[in-house]
Every structure is written in structure tokens, then in C-alpha cells.
Amino acid sequence: MSSLKDQQHVWASHDDWEVHRETISRLYWDECKPLPDVIEIMRSEHGFHATPRMYKFRFKKWGLSKNLKNDQDEEIRVQAARGGHPAVPLIRGRVPGSKKLKRYVHRLAPDILPDSAIGPSRVRSPVCHAGATEGGCQRVVLAKNRSISPLSPPSSSPSSIASNGNFYLPNSSGSGSSSPLPPTSVPILLDAPDSLKFTHQSLRAVLDYTSSRVRKGVWDPSGEPYDTADHAEVWHNKVFQASGMIQRGRFREGFRLLDICYKGYTAQLAAEHPFLIIETYTSILQLARVEHALARSLVRYLAGLCRIRLGPCHPLARFWAGLLAMGLPQVRRAVGAVVRAQFDLFEAYFAPGAEFLIIQNVDAARTLHESGCIPLSSAEAIIDRAIQQRRRVGAARPGADDFVCWARLILAMLYIRDGRCDLAAPVIEAVGQRVRAQQEQVREMELELELELEVGAGEKEQRRLPNPNSKPRAPAITGEEISLFTQNEYYTMRVHLMRGMSGAGGGAPPGALAAALRERFDFCLRTSGPGHYYTTRAFAELDELYRNGGSGDAAPGPDLAAAERLRADFDFAVQWDEVCRREEERVAGSAGAAAADTRARDVGCIVVEEEAGLITEPVAEVDAAVG
């Protein structure tokens, strides 16, 4: 009777399989447990009842096949022996097939098959040293082959060994000596807990990608080619503009630009800028502020695109597949580890004082603070250090003044977002004095030129005589020119300041926000023209304020008459169409150039190449790739 009673249980339903899918996949695939062990664990610990045949059916449906078919095995061997790029499948970060096949492919084509696919006992894997946490994010430092961050000999104190984060084999001599053995060539790799598994896999992918780009000579260690051409940042700025339009309810305009960004990412993969991962990661976080589904859509697209273009074993394909498996909350928490890990690698590989790294340090400080990984004081210290570094190389490289103004504006933005408008205001005003002085000098130079064109030399000298009622001439600017980009950032930061002060009741005078928005719109219209995204963004924000009003005691109410006058003077639909048309032409041109460049050089483990270099239906094709 008792045995009959034990057999009376309910078999797992379809919903039960979905609920326990991750646990079953982890036990069977990630931990390589035999099927009988998986069945017993699920029965005893989770009350989950299913027959071996049911499990095998689900494994096949989920694509968890530990073995390859004979023809697949043979094809991979032949391609590797010929020196080609075998299309090795990747499932949940692991390569199926026998260990013998993996060692064979890794020996002939080490760049195709990652070290992590061979097995932990034979891998010089990245070692995660856990240090003190800052703002809830754990600090992670990567080391590989002892070439980036060499391990120091352990202290004889057990507590110091534990705190150092390094683990070594115990002394097996049995002599009882307190002095430990010297470290082995390969530190013991502790498996990451389930909650950090995909973060750990993503860090491995970052390490593999960065080291392979340097080893193959794709990246210039001097860093000079990246000082003026940050294609990844340009792409990120377009995503930012698109998300802003969507957030303001201009869905048609926002999604049109976002679609252009999707199609243009193929060119970013071909350009392989060192900041591609970081800029794309922050773009995902930006979309997440608007709508979680938008962020997940981008991650899904990137994972599928990299799988199609680069192959499933390429580090970028593994990285985005890992983020797709994480879920948005864990993606937010992992940004600190990813950014820190990549910067540790950059500092090891690139020349000290590389300008593009100094610039990116400021952006990294902003990203880490906004993600809650570092406090405001740490962000201040990073930005201040970057300013000092840039000033030290100012004599050799122009643009130091422009960089300092921009970095201070970034710091002011962090102050505003932390509710410290009192700290942000003097920083913005100091930059504003520099910007206004330059603009005044430019206007005087334009007047001088007009005089030379309109009147003769004698009359010009007569008109130059001092006039007691005229404005005093602006003092000559002793520093370098402030770029149009930084000037636009100044006007944008004034808008943020007025918005912050209005929302918090911080003393902004009535109408200050509308005046700041109008001033920025007029500046963009005058300097960039109506068909520039600076101008269209400024118009969209000003129009939104006129139509909806602001928030807070000092914010203005709706002003529909002003909104109608603004729309009568500026045709937003026509100008936005011009912005998008130029971007579409640029994407088409860069995609063609990327296709030619891909055929001319080896850009990594590319196992699928599109002859035209374009993916005209990216979402449909990528969705089919990721299943």
C-alpha cells in the first residue's frame, strides 16, 4: 500500500515545465549532471515528477543536445583542418560535442573556440577578485595568463589570503610548515553562483574580445586613431535622440530614428571601436528608462545580429546572449563590473595617457554613478583626475579647454540629478562665462568682416573711432576654442538646472525654464541650422513645455499661443524628415563601406558574411536567428 501511495503523484504539466525550465537546464546542461541525477533532484527538492522520456523530449525542444550528429562533427573537423572558420554551435555559453573534438578545433583554430569550452581544468580563465563593494556593485578585476594583473605571492596569514581574494592549492607535503606553496600557474577558478553566472560569462566575453582585438592588431595600442573618431558614441547619441522623441510621445519620429540605429549597427561591428561594448550598454540603459520592452528588444536584436554576422562563439555574440539571459534588473547591476573590467584591460593594453581613455573616464564616472555603483564623491574624484590628466598633455594636444568645460558640465549634471542644484549652478555659470566671451568675440569678428566688405578703408577707420555710448569690447580669449558640441551642452545643462530648480522648488524665477529652452533653441537654430538634430531636439522640448506646462511651483503653465507661434515659425515634420533622410543615406553608405572592408581584412571569427553588407529586415531576420 505504501509503495502504491508513493506512486500516486501528478505528472508535470506544460506550465510546470516552464516554471522549472531554468533549474532543469542548469542541472542538466550547465552542471553536466546525468539525467537520473536530474530526475531525482527535481523529484526530491522541487516535487517535480516526470519520466526520462518526458525529459528527453523537453531537452530536444529546448535545444539542449550534448552531442553533435556525425555529419556535423565531421564538417567541423574538416573546416578546422583547412584553416577555415568552422561554424561551431554555442548553447547557453557551452559548445556541444565531445572533449576530443573541442581540443582538436581549439588547437587548429583557437580564435573560433573559446578557452572556456575546453573545460575548467585546462583553461587559463579570468579570475574574479572580489573586493569591497561600492554603492552595491562588486568590484571585479580580471587577470588572464598573468599578463594583465600578475598575482602576488600570498601572505602566510590565512586572513590575508582570504581578504586578498586569491586562492591557492593547500600544502600537501604534510610537513606542517606554515609557509604556503608558491602559486600554481593557473589559479583555481571558483564557479560563480547562479545569480552571477551570466555576469561572469559576460565578463569572460569582454576579456576575450578585448585581448583578441589587441592580439590581432585590430586596435592601435597608441590610441591615437580613436581620439577624434568615436563612431560608437555617435551611434549612442542617435539612440539617445530617438528615446527622447519616444518619451515625449512622438512615436513615429522616434521609432524611425531607432530603426535607423538598428540597421546601422552592422557598420559599428565592422568599425570595432574600443568603446563599442560600453556605448551600446549605456544605450540599452537609456532605452530602459523609457520602456523596458525597448531595452530588451535592442538586446535581443544585438544578440541575433552578432550571431548571424560573427558566429555564435564570437565574444560579442556571447556577451549579448549573456545579457539577454540576465533580465533587465541584473543588466543594470552588472554595468559596474563590465565597465570596470574593460577599463582595467584598456589601461593594460593602451599607451598611458591616451586621450580617448581620459575622455571616456568622464563618461564612465557618469555611467557608474547613475547606475548606483559609485557615490558622488568617487565620480567627482574620477572627473577631477581626468581634468588634471588632460591639462598635463594640453601643450602637446589642442582642445584641453574644451575638454575641461565639457567635463565640468558632466559633473554639474550629476549634481543636478542628485538634487544638488546649489553645487551645479556655479559650475554651469563658470562655463557659461567662457562660452559667452567666445561668442562675443566671434560677433565682433563678424562685424569687422562686414565693415571690410561694405565700406572702404578710410570710412572703416572713421567708424572705428571710440564712441562713448558703445559697449566695451569683450576681452580677448586667451584659451582655446570651445567646440559647438560643448556650447550646446552648456545650454542643455542650463535647461536641466532650471528644470531641477523648478521641480524641487529651489528658487528658479517664474518663466526661467521656458527662457532657457528658448535660448537653447535659438542658439541651435543659429549655429547648427534647422535640419540638425540639436535643433529638432530643442524644438521638441520647448514645444512640449508650451503645450503641457512644467511641474513644480515655479514651472509655467501651458501656453498654447506660444506653441502655435513656434510651430508656425518652425516646421518640425519637414526638418525631422531631413535629419532622418541624411542618417539613412549615411547608414547605406557606411554599410557598403563596411561590406568592402570586411572582405578586405580579417575582423575576427566571422562565420557568416552578407555579400551586400546590409540587413534590410533586421528584426525579422534576427528573431529567426535567436529562435
User: In the chain, what are the domain boundaries?
Assistant: 11-62, 70-118
| pLDDT score at 394 | 65
Residue type, 396: A
| pLDDT score at 425 | 94
Q: Is the per-residue pLDDT at 476 higher than 90?
A: no
Query: Are 86 and 109 in contact, with CB atoms under 8 Å apart?
Result: yes
Rounded-to-integer distance, Cα 189 and Cα 166, Å: 10
Q: What is the pLDDT of residues 325-365, one digit of tens each?
A: 887 888 888 888 898 888 888 888 888 778 888 888 898 89
Rounded-to-integer distance, Cα 204 and Cα 337, Å: 11
Q: Which three cell numbers stand for residue 233?
A: 558614441
Query: Are 533 and 256 in contact, with CB atoms under 8 Å apart?
Result: no
Average pLDDT over all residues of the chain: 74
83-87, 190-194, 492-496, 566-570, range with the lowest pLDDT? 190-194
For the entire predicted model, the pTM comes to 0.62
Q: Is the per-residue pLDDT at 420 higher than 80?
A: yes
Rounded-to-integer distance, Cα 103 and Cα 186, Å: 18
Q: Is the per-residue pLDDT at 132 higher than 90?
A: no
| pLDDT score at 214 | 85
Q: What is the pLDDT of residues 563-574, one digit of tens each?
A: 899 999 999 999
> Where is 439: in which H helix or E strand?
helix 421-454
Q: What is the pLDDT of residues 24-82, one digit of tens each?
A: 988 887 788 889 999 999 998 888 999 999 998 888 888 776 666 666 666 666 666 66
Instruction: Give the residue with greater pLDDT, 518 vs 457.
Output: 518
| pLDDT score at 280 | 93
**From the CA atom positions of the chain, what is the Rg in Å?**
29
pLDDT band, very low/low/confident/very high, at 112 (cuts 50, 70, 90): low
| pLDDT score at 623 | 43
Instruction: Give the residue with greater pLDDT, 616 vs 23.
Output: 23
Average confidence (pLDDT) over 506-529: 86
**Would you put residue 383 in left (φ > 0), alpha (ψ -120 to 50) or beta?**
alpha
Q: Which of 152, 127, 151 is nearest to 141 (CA)?
A: 127
Rounded-to-integer distance, Cα 27 and Cα 600, Å: 44
